[in-house]
Structure 1
Amino acid sequence: MLAAMSRWNELTGGTSGEDYAARFAALADSGKDMHGEARFCAALVPAGARVLDAGCGTGRVMIRLAELGYDCVGVDLDPSMLAVAQRAAPGLPWIEADLAEFDPAAVTVAGDFDLVVAAGNIFPLLAAGTEPAVVTRLAATLRPGGLMVAGFGLDEAHLPVPPSITLPEYDAYCAAAGLTFVDRFATWDADPYDDGGYAISVHRR
């Protein structure tokens, strides 16, 4: 039985890595701060902690975390994105896998990551119906006390696809996977969540 196609693949065809990287390079050249996600993560766990970048894309967040001293692993289903990441940081571990079918044992033994980060609208871009399974698989990589951070849009203004997951749904998936809600923010600068169209959620195993 074929796995359902993710909304990301429906949107991009899995060939947008170079264009995606060029767009962010242009933003960086314009002076825009590109490291908010990494800075947010670094405030949660100390340097040296193990971090799983779920839906790592071209590696922008993970490469910065590695530069800051974190032990990182990246997972993404899009080979065009991973090709960019591997070229930028060939010494880091990049795994091609669909998060809905991802085997936590491929990157960890009995759950030893201190942090899982899913930035960049990962959950709204999953294949429909796979969200609970992805949360469960990612939660299984965490050590007891480990954190999962997910930032995603909730309305059309913050998404390239129609909204597909609400915060109550996401919190319920986390609870079912044994995660406890910790906090929620509106931006990667840790501004308090204000019921807006983008949220960053922190849960603990």
Structure 2
Amino acid sequence: MNTANERTPSGWEDITAADPTHSSRYVERFRALAARGTDIVGEARLIDAMLGRGSRVLDAGCGPGRTGGYLHDRGHTVVGVDVDPVLIDAARADHPGPEWLVGDLAQLDLPVTDFDAIVCAGNVMTFLAPSTRPAVLAGFAEHLAPGGRAIIGFGADRGYEFAEFLTDADSAGLTIDLLLSTWDLRPFTDDSDFLVAVFSRTLGPGTSTGPDA
């Protein structure tokens, strides 16, 4: 991961700076949900259904690892990145196997640049500093394999309008494949209060994504 002397803190970092117990409580909340048998991997099931076995997955804003951990257990190679070291420590403890990294999505620079899927769930996009959102989306495009897909989900009324997000994604080099209103494949409408957007990397004229590429 690249580092920089000056960077813009994310909204999540602002929250944890104001409340140092926030991350630990977040971890314990999801551990408690899992212990009760609550379904907390709906996002991961959708990603798994889109992939062949042994695919390369980037869990962007991975938190304590519920999505990436599930995908690893299904046979995929997973790298998870999150800005919060408390959440990364929890991911390493609860979901061994994936590569869990502390890092800023706005400065994403991984040695693997051909991920078959990049998943960004849990309203991560809305916790980013607004000035960094275009850079984050551009980083996703740069790390996506030809034929790979980026799947990003977040709710309405969180400070990032869906139309603005889709414009930013287009400018970053991501082409819309599908818009949904839930992680269980319900269609997106103008009245939807949640968006799951599936993108492919925008390719230049004459570029092929087929097996002979």
- TM exceeding 0.5: yes
Is the contact made by 1:17 and 1:82 (CA closer than 8 Å) also made in structure 2? Answer: no
Query: Could you tell which deviates more after superposition, 142-151 or 14-23?
Result: 14-23
Q: Counterpart in 1 of 2:29?
A: 23
Cα deviation, residue 15, structure 1: 5.2
Cα deviation, residue 117, structure 1: 0.3
Query: Do structure 1's residue 193 and structure 2's residue 196 form an aligned pair?
Result: no
Q: Distance in 2 between matches of 1:29 and 1:189?
A: 22
Q: Distance in 2 between matches of 1:24 and 1:59?
A: 10
Q: Choose the corresponding residue for 1:11, options 9, 15, 29.
A: 15
Is the contact made by 2:180 and 2:188 (CA closer than 8 Å) also made in structure 1? Answer: yes
Q: Choose the corresponding residue for 1:83, options 59, 77, 89.
A: 89
Q: Where does structure 1 differ by over 6 angstroms across 4 or more consecutive aligned residues?
A: none
Local SS of the residue matching 1:149: strand
Is the contact made by 2:118 and 2:150 (CA closer than 8 Å) also made in structure 1? Answer: yes
Is the contact made by 1:149 and 1:202 (CA closer than 8 Å) also made in structure 2? Answer: yes
TM-score (norm 1): 0.89
Residues 1-205 of structure 1 correspond to what in structure 2 (within 5 A)? 2-13=6-17, 16-103=22-109, 106-108=110-112, 111-155=113-157, 163-194=158-189, 195-205=191-201
Local SS of the residue matching 2:106: coil
Is the contact made by 2:16 and 2:23 (CA closer than 8 Å) also made in structure 1? Answer: no
Cα deviation, residue 84, structure 1: 0.4
Q: Distance in 1 between matches of 2:21 and 2:175?
A: 36
Local SS of the residue matching 2:165: helix
TM-score (norm 2): 0.86
Q: Distance in 1 between matches of 2:64 and 2:120?
A: 13
Rg larger in structure:
2
The code of the aligned residue for 1:5 comes to P
Q: Deviations over 1:2-53 (max 9, x none)?
A: 2121101111236533311211122223332111011010111122110000
The code of the aligned residue for 1:200 comes to V
The code of the aligned residue for 2:167 comes to A
Query: Could you tell which deviates more after superposition, 13-22 or 132-141?
Result: 13-22
Identity rate, percent: 40
Is the contact made by 2:59 and 2:81 (CA closer than 8 Å) also made in structure 1? Answer: yes
Number of residues of Structure 1 aligned to a counterpart in Structure 2: 194
Local SS of the residue matching 1:134: helix
Q: Distance in 2 between matches of 1:177 and 1:151?
A: 17
Is the contact made by 1:73 and 1:107 (CA closer than 8 Å) also made in structure 2? Answer: no
Listed as ranges, the gaps of 5+ residues in structure 1 are 156-162
The code of the aligned residue for 2:68 comes to M
Root-mean-square deviation (Å): 1.5
Is the contact made by 2:60 and 2:81 (CA closer than 8 Å) also made in structure 1? Answer: yes
In 2 relative to 1, CA 139–15 (structure 1 residues): closer, same or farther, beyond 3 Å?
A: farther
Q: Distance in 1 between matches of 2:62 and 2:95?
A: 13
